[in-house]
Copies of this chain bind each other. A is one copy, B any other.
Amino acid sequence: MPEVQSSKTSMPDWEAGVIELFVRGANLVGLPRSVGEIYGCLFCAKTPLSFDRLEIRLQISRGSISQGLKVLRQLGAVKVQYVAGSRKDHYIAELSILQLVQGFVRDQLVPHLDSGSVRLKEVETLIQNEPDASIRAHAKQRLRTLLSWQGRGQKLLPLVMTVLGGNKLLDSDQGSANRII
C-alpha cells in the first residue's frame, strides 16, 4: 500500500512542503498556523484563488479562512484581485519581501514599540518617587540602558528596510561605496 494522506483534492508534495515552511514562518512571528497555510497556498498558486478554493485545498473551516485572510489583507501579504466572470473575491500572495516585512513592522512591531515607549516614560516618572537616593541613582542608570536599547532599535529599523528594499547598492563587498541610506 502506498502513501496515506490522499484525500480527494490532494496537493502536490512540493506545495505541501512550501506550505509547511510558511506554517513555521508564521509560528516564528506569532501568527496562527492557519494564516501560514493560507499564505503558503496562495504563494504556490499559479492563478488567483477564491475563498472556497482555499477552503477545499486546505481543508480548514470557513471561519479560519475568513479570519486568516483578514489578517493577511491587513498585513498587506495578500491582495484581492478581480477575476472576470466571477462574483467571488480572488486572492493572490504578495511576493515582495519588503512589503511583507513592512506590513509586519507596521502592524505588529511598531504598536508594541510605541506602547513600550510610553511605558518607559512613565517609568521615568515613577523613578522620581523612589525615596532611597542610592536606589534612585541605580534605577536611573538602568533607565539609561533601556533608552540606549531603544535608540539602537530605532537606528536599526530603517537600515533593515533599506537592505530588504530596492538594493542596487551593496552587492557583497569589494566596491568602495557600500553606503547605506
Q: Is A56 an interface residue (CB 8 A)?
A: no
**Given A12-B130, A156-B163, A163-B156, A18–B123 Cβ distance below 8 Å?**
yes
* CB pair B21 A119 closer than 8 Å: yes
Contact indicator per residue, chain A 86-129, by CB within 8 Å of chain B (1) or not (0): 00000000010100000000000000100110011011001101
Expressed in whole angstroms, the Cα–Cα distance for A47 and B18 within the complex equals 49
* CB pair B21 A146 closer than 8 Å: yes
Q: Is A63 an interface residue (CB 8 A)?
A: no
* CB pair A142 B18 closer than 8 Å: yes
Complex interface: stretch among A1-9, A67-75, A76-84, A173-181 = A173-181
Residues of B within 8 A of A127 (CB): 14
Q: Is A145 an interface residue (CB 8 A)?
A: yes
Expressed in whole angstroms, the Cα–Cα distance for A14 and B14 within the complex equals 53
Chain multiplicity (copies): 2
* CB pair A120 B163 closer than 8 Å: no
**Given A97-B152, A173-B181, A17–B142 Cβ distance below 8 Å?**
no
- Per a CB cutoff under 8 Å, which of B116, B129, B149, B164 touches A24? B116
* CB pair B181 A146 closer than 8 Å: no
Question: Could you list 15 examples of A-B contacts with CB < 8 Å?
Answer: A12-B126, A13-B126, A14-B126, A14-B130, A18-B123, A18-B146, A20-B119, A28-B30, A46-B138, A95-B145, A97-B148, A155-B170, A159-B160, A159-B163, A180-B180
